[in-house]
Amino acid sequence: MLPAADPAAPAALPSSAVSRREFLVQSGMVSCAVVFAVSACKPAGAPAVSSLNPGPLAANIWVTLYSDSTIEIITPGIELGQGAMTVLPRMVAEELDAEWSQVRVIAAPADEKRFGNPLFWDMQLTAGSRTTLGYFDAMRIAGAQARYVLMLAAAKHWGVPLEQLETDSSTVLHASTGRHIRYAELIDKAEVPAAFPAFISPGDKPQLVDDFFGEPPPSPLKPDPKVSGAIALKPKERYKLLGKDTPRLDIPSKTNGTAQYGIDVQLPGMLYAMVDTGPVQGGEPERIEDSHARAVPDIVEIVKLPYGVAVVGRSIFAVRAARQALKIVWKPGAKVRTYDSDKTLADFARIAADPARNPGVRAFKLGEESETAAAFDRPGSLSSPHTIEQFEIQSELIYHAPLEPQNATVRIAEDGKSAECWVGTQWPKLEQDYVAKVLGLKAEDIKLNTLYPGGSYGRRQEPGAIADAAAIAQQVHKPVKVLWTREDDLKRNPFRQAMVCRAEAAVAPDGRILATRHRVVADSWFARMFPDFFDQYNKSDPGNWVGGLHLYDVPLQTVDNVTVRREVAVCYLRGVGVTQTKFAQECLIDLIARRLGKDPLSYRLQMLQASPRAIRVLEAVADMADWRRPRAPRALGVAYVPYSNSHAALIAEVSVDRSNGAIRVHRVWCAVDCGFALQPAILASQMEGGIVQGLSMALFERVTLKHGEVQQSNFHDYRLLRMSEAPEIEIKVLSTDNAVTGSAEIGVMPIAPAVNNAVATLIGAPLKRLPMLPEDVLNALKG
Amino acid sequence: MATFQLNGKTVDASDVPEDAPLLWVIREHFKLSGTKFGCGRGACGACTVHLNGGAIRSCVVPVRAVAGQQITTIEGLAPNSDHPLQRAWIIEQVPQCGYCQSGQIMQAAALLRQTPHPTDEQIVAAMEGNLCRCGTYQRIKRAIKRVASEA
């Protein structure tokens, strides 16, 4: 439950979304496959305007051209700071041959039918490193369709065949006669055809099967160049916008205070509210003493909610003061009171160590399962001799810590039949659903205005303050802005799952790995929020276990996932469980190399012979870091992560202060291959940010609970990495001709194991906990 | 408590409680929302503004403490938002989510006002209290150095 008593949780998935697709997790399959019905693949958009419509020309749902030369492009991905509002429209503009300076970008409304991500189960959810790749085909087709409309108009206007026309810089050209006409001049001549021709892109490499999402749905781009009348998209060699850096469109407003975040919304007559939810998640107020609070001038109402008490007033000052004056007695016996962080991880470790009693779900297997089991449980049973190497890590809960705390503004119409909301979110539809549920309305009656989110990292995949705001607005009949303080935000946050991951390898004397076995024990976001998804993954959470898959040349592999439902709400955080499982796996690889007396980078190259993209990033990063040059008294550590068909290799230069146990990361090099790099500089900044965030989580961040109470309350005791702790980072973007893949999370994943592998060199053994605290270093040094 | 200077204009804050944090007075009363709320205890720097040219955390300064003083926010840092740091922030493409960046720029502006050519250590020392969850520190440093080297 959200906090358990929140009114709107768990969210029911729209049944149509579920029925349209079929998830298969079969133990007999080599890979976990998520199979889609063909209907999940939709065209870029039906024509929205029929014909000869004066005024703007809507070529399709994505592109509208105006006579003042403005070209309006809808961006379906939410700008989280990752560049979505720049990158996606550039795909359209490229195929449209639009003059980039004429492009105006409009955020798509919440409308999954039209704007859902084809590679994200048609959901309009900006997450999972899926936005760029998910919309690449649809957006290019959108641009190509708009271009086709304009070329049709020009062909008719000049009386020449369409095939003789070209386009460039928002202009249609007829080379043989030297004629040219600007797009803006064609608007009143253009007719949108009833149907568009097929578009093909013969040079594209197809999207590969994804560990999490399975088989991609068929692309709306026809693969066969012989489709009659088909129009070919541009080959990459002719790109003018894609692959070429451009300033992000959102940045100027983020340097002068004009960027509007959810927290900046002010409506006429708006009230302010804060909600006290007590000392633990899932509490319930028993008795409220609010006479002092009500006496504060400008306080309008004290609203009792099932899970807290809202103070509502005409000014933020009044609300702050009244909240101080409020006295609440909480019902004893909140379920979360049994939760203790140390005990939880100890429980998880016991479960991980006891596959007989806690087998969990076999999420992935390669080769004969019985042989894999035998390799570990009956050493000597395999034909070749081997030793078992094992590395088990424990990882604490983590707070997403967006710098903008959760907030939302809701205004209910006077007749109560509709509502309008303002919020920063990654998933507008889910916010709509929550509000609809609270207000007893339909989702289509809820108008959602999305604003810039001040930090997301997965947190804004699930609603926060909007459920409060809807419930309060319903009581006070006025627009309400609900603001969580930092303390509220930390306490009410659904955290990144605590996890124990045990990684094992059966290693032959010559260094070959014969088998790997991973056991991942954690609570699950899917199980809490989306039981249907959880069930469709055979009661497992792919976010927790996909990191157990790897590309090392190992014939026998299993990944098991034990989901332990606990009382504290958990939620995916950028990097999902992969950050944690790769910490176990990549440190295990180093352990093996160390045991064999091999260089860990060379050993990886040797074990990744079948994966040329892995080899390439590893060789590139070795060059960048000058891997073989000794760094004493510092040390280098390396890690390699494949994730959603992107590949990253990272080297960290690390020192350890033996007097106080502090780990310091001085420099980081990272080579990344996300296929064709659409905007290399934006990709590099995603990697840079991911690495810094990953390092912050690796060295400092943890949420601990005692008797259900979160022990941290604000940034003085929930430690984020600061500038002095930020290493110098060098990124190399290897743009390849592979299918476009994502970069949002893969920066987060390799930094922790790379740092730990360097620490192991410095102190003799790797650390086994995330975060890697000075006390762990000191304990390890004591032996 | 009656008035103070906000971005060069005299403003009257007699409608708000004297102990109200300056941050909320700026944001909600005077509706300049570029200054951000992050922590409410001076621990993140998102609310950084200038008091007579020096950086302060507006979330922990009561409005009465700035009576008669000059407060500058991101909106008033430079006419047309063309402070050299703002230009450098765009050239270096610093922000990601952007929420902390008003505070970062105001902190950096106060530093450069006092120390136009800071060393790396001085930059880090000045910026250490400004958190960036997206991890843009390297580009922040680069933008500050760009301005320092141009000055």
Q: Is the pTM of this model over 0.80?
A: yes
Query: A722, A26, A728: which is closest to A363 by C-alpha?
Result: A26
Q: For chains A and B, count residue pairs whose Cβ atoms are closer than 8 Å.
A: 175
Q: Would you place residue B82 in the very low, low, confident or very high pLDDT band (cuts 50, 70, 90)?
A: very high
What pLDDT score does B1 carry? 56
Dist CA A374 CA A350 (whole Å): 21
Which residue carries 């859902």 as its tokens?
A116
A760 vs A1, higher pLDDT: A760
Residue A236 amino acid letter:
K
Give the model's pLDDT for residue B78. Answer: 97
Q: What is the pLDDT of residues A526-566, one digit of tens each?
A: 999 999 999 999 999 999 999 999 999 999 999 999 999 99
Residue of B nearest to A272 (CA): B28
Q: Which residues of B touch A402 (CB under 8 A)?
A: 97, 99, 133
| DSSP alpha helix (H) spans, A364-403 | 369-377
- Closest-CA residue of B relative to A691 is B135
Quickly state the pLDDT bin for A10 (edges 50, 70, 90): very low
Share of chain B above pLDDT 70, in %: 99
B119 touches chain A (CB under 8 A): no
pLDDT of residue B14: 93
Instruction: Measure CB to CB from residue B134 to each of A261, A455, A682 and give the nearest one.
Output: A455
pLDDT greater than 90 at residue A25: no
Q: What is the pLDDT of residues B15-58, one digit of tens each?
A: 999 999 999 999 999 999 999 999 999 999 999 999 999 999 99
CA A620 to chain centre: 26
What mean pLDDT, rounded, does chain A reach?
A: 92
B41 touches chain A (CB under 8 A): yes
Contact A89, A64 (CB under 8 A): no
Flag whether pLDDT at A382 surpasses 90: no
Contact residues on chain B for A403, CB-CB shorter than 8 A: 36, 38, 44, 46, 97, 99-100, 131-133
Please write the tens of the pLDDT for every residue from A98-149.
Answer: 999 999 999 999 999 999 999 999 999 999 999 999 999 999 999 999 999 9
Name the nearest CA neighbour of A715 among B143, B38, B33. B38
* Token pair in block for residue A473: 């607005």
Cα(A746)–Cα(A471) distance, integer angstroms: 38
Mean pLDDT is lowest, of A32-46, A268-282, A620-634, for A32-46
Q: What is the pLDDT of residue B2?
A: 78
**By the CB < 8 Å criterion, does B95 face chain A?**
yes
Of B37, B89, B102, nearest to A263 by CB-CB distance is B37
Which residue of chain B comes nearest to A730, CA vs CA?
B138
What was the pLDDT predicted at A21? 30
pLDDT, tens digit, 9 for 90 and up, residues A57-93: 999 999 999 999 999 999 999 999 999 999 999 999 9
DSSP bridge partners of B151: none
Torsion of CA A238, A165, A95, A49, to 10 degrees: 180
Q: Which chain B residues touch A679 with a CB distance below 8 Å?
A: none
The kind and range of the H/E element at A179 are strand A179-182
Who's near A533: CB < 8 A, 6+ residues apart? Answer: A13, A23, A526
Residue numbers in A near B131 (CB within 8 A): 403, 715, 720, 722
Q: For strands A446-450 and A419-423, give the pairing.
A: parallel
Flag whether pLDDT at A725 surpasses 50.
yes
CB contacts of A729 in chain B (<8 Å) are: 138
Are A403 and B17 an interchain contact pair (Cβ–Cβ within 8 Å)?
no
pLDDT at A55: 79
CA distances from A777 to A397, A726, B142 (A): 20, 20, 32
- Please tell me which residue, A230 or A649, carries the higher pLDDT value: A649
pLDDT band at A54 (very low <50, low <70, confident <90, very high): low
Q: Is the pLDDT of residue A18 over 90?
A: no
What is the model's pLDDT at position B151?
75
The confidence band for A228, taking pLDDT boundaries of 50, 70 and 90, is: confident
Q: Is the pLDDT of residue A231 over 50?
A: yes
Q: Which of A255, A264, A272 sits opposite B95 (nearest CB)?
A: A255
Percent pLDDT > 70 in chain A is 93
Q: For residue A204, give how far its alpha carbon lies from the nearest alpha carbon of chain B (Å).
A: 30
Strands A199-200 and A231-232: parallel
pLDDT at A11 over 90: no
pLDDT of residue A15: 34
Please report residues of A whose CB lies closer than 8 A to that of B35. Answer: 257
Do the Cβ atoms of A403 and B31 come within 8 Å?
A: no
The residue of chain B nearest to residue A271, with distances taken between CA atoms, is B28
Q: What is the mean pLDDT of residues A17-46?
A: 29
DSSP line for A731-770: EEE---SSPP---TTTTTTTHHHHHHHHHHHHHSS---EE
CA angle at A580 for the pair A501 and A35, rounded to the nearest 5°: 90
Lowest mean pLDDT among A214-223, A269-278, A597-606: A214-223
pLDDT band at A5 (very low <50, low <70, confident <90, very high): very low
Query: Could you read off the pLDDT of A650-667 as tens digits, one per residue?
Result: 999 999 999 999 999 999
The residues near A54 (Cβ < 8 Å, ≥ 6 apart) are: A188
- Model confidence over A459-481: pLDDT tens digits? 999 999 999 999 999 999 999 99
Those residues whose C-beta lies under 8 Å from the C-beta of residue B15, and which sit 6 or more positions away, are: B29
- Comparing A32-36, A394-398, A571-575, A576-580, the range with the smallest average pLDDT is A32-36
Quickly list H helices, A427-577: 428-439, 465-476, 486-492, 525-529, 531-536, 542-545
A34 — pLDDT class (breaks 50, 70, 90): very low
Contacts A493 to B, Cβ<8 Å: none
DSSP assignment string, A480-497 = EEEE--HHHHHHHPPBBP
Q: A10-19, A193-202, A226-235: which range is least confident on average? A: A10-19
A383: pLDDT strictly greater than 90: no
Res. A45: pLDDT tops 50: no
Categorize the per-residue pLDDT at A486 as very low, low, confident or very high, splitting at 50, 70 and 90.
very high
Say yes or no: B136 contacts chain A, CB-CB below 8 A: yes
Query: What is the pLDDT at residue A384?
Result: 78
Q: What is the total residue count of chain A?
A: 783
| Interface probe, candidates A80, A126, A256, chain B, greatest B C-beta count within 10 A | A256
